[in-house]
Structure formats: structure tokens, C-alpha cells
Amino acid sequence: MVFNQILSFRKKAQKLLAILIDPDKVTVEDISVLTEKINQSPATHIFIGGSSFDGNHLCELVALLKQKTTLPILIFPGNPTQISAEADGILFLQLLSGRNSDYLIEHQINAVPILEKTNLEIISTGYILIESGSETAVQRVSKTKPLDRNNYDYAAQTAKAGELIGNKLIYLEAGSGAQKAVPLKMISMVAKRISVPLIVGGGIRSKKGIEDAFNAGADMVVIGTAFENDINFFD
């Protein structure tokens, strides 16, 4: 089980690294080269999903990924069309920073009949979008405002509310391709406030950025754009 594995890594103080694949930017032909690079990298997980992807060739991509890597593959969905039974699990997201009921409960309800036909491990995840310098795709698509990047306490309080509601993971997100990553002080205040594992992503473009996020308290860091732009990023 992917979630139990995350917990056991955490017990051993072992940090986790997810590579995010945006299915909109990847073709079936790219998968061989991509997975070769991922398998050589320090990645521990693969996330697949995007804000506006229509789910088109997702199953094909995930099935190919499964053939070529042993890393756990988690769906990171922007909407209920992005579900593939071929993956290991799904981050069942709730956009806690926003006040758009579609992303708080409507999409989740619509996803149920699809999820019921799969054996995916469903991991309840509180997703918190932090202001990052300019409008990000997730902000545009979800029609929600991100949280103030200077109000660390409110972000921590939001994360704690997610944990109390029952989220098993908290994802602190600046948005894919963000100008500015989540502030380190915010990561550390959120990490101290919650007892569930903390994922941090968005706008992290260097190995130092990954280390800094880990040192601030992230259990898992997500890298999308940096690897997308440079397949040798982890070399």
C-alpha cells in the first residue's frame, strides 16, 4: 500500500521525491526515454495529472509507465476524467485553500462511480494553493484564490483543519511552474502544526530548492517543470 509505505519511509526519516508528469505535455513515444531517466533519478514516486487535461490518453500512458518502472504511480487529478485504473493509487484531492464547492465536494462525488470500478488506493489529500507571484493554471482552472504567502499561520491552520477532517496527506502547492515556491518558513510552520505527511511542490527548480524544502519539514517534494524542461535535471 502506497500510503503505508509513505508512513514507513517517514518513520525512518527518509525523504521522498515525486516526479510529476503532465499528460498534456507527454506522448506515448516519450515514455521510454522519460522512464529511463526517472529510474536513474532519486525519485521515489511518479505523479501523473494536470489542471486542464481531458483524460484522453491517460490509461495508455499509465500502462506504459507501469511496464517500465517499479515506482508507485499516483494519479494527481485536475478533474474526474483523469482517473486510470492502471495506476497504483490516486490523491483524492480537496482544494482546502479555495471556496469553490466543485473542488471541495462536487468533483469527488462525480468521481465515485469511476473509482468504484477500480482497485486504486484512494488517499485523501488536502490541497492548499499558496500565492506564488502570478496566476497559475490551477488557480485559473479552479477559479479560486490562493492563500496569502505571508500568512503562515493561516496556511498552518488550514492544513490542520484538513487533517482534522480526515485528510491523510497535506499538499502545500505553489502551482506548477510557479514563479516563487512555497516559503520555507511556511513549510516549517505547517509541518510543525500537522501530524500527517506533508507534500510540497510548485516552482522548485534546483537541487538546493529540494533540499531546502526537505530541511524545512517537507516529507515529499514534487518536481514537474524542472524535469520537463531538462530531462537531465537529476544527473
Q: Which residues bind ligand 1GP (CB under 6 A)?
A: 20, 173, 176-178, 201-204, 222-226
Q: What is the nearest approach in angstroms of ligand 1GP to the Cβ of residue 181?
A: 8
**Measured at CB, which residue is nearest to ligand 1GP?**
201
Burial 102-125 (b: 16+ CB within 10 A, else e): bbeeebbeebeebbeebebbbbbb
Q: Which is nearer to ligand 1GP, 164 or 232 (CB)?
A: 232
| Residues paired with 127 in a beta bridge | 95, 171
Q: Which is nearer to ligand 1GP, 38 or 178 (CB)?
A: 178
Q: What is the nearest approach in angstroms of ligand 1GP to the Cβ of residue 50?
A: 9
Q: Which is nearer to ligand 1GP, 97 or 113 (CB)?
A: 97
User: Residue 125 phi/psi, 5° resolution?
Assistant: -130, 120
Q: What is the nearest approach in angstroms of ligand 1GP to the Cβ of residue 155?
A: 15
Round the CA-based radius of gyration of the chain to a whole number and report it: 16
Sign of the four-CA dihedral 102, 155, 50, 61: negative
Q: Which is nearer to ligand 1GP, 123 or 222 (CB)?
A: 222
Burial 171-185 (b: 16+ CB within 10 A, else e): bbbbbbbbeebbbbe
Q: What is the nearest approach in angstroms of ligand 1GP to the Cβ of residue 117?
A: 26
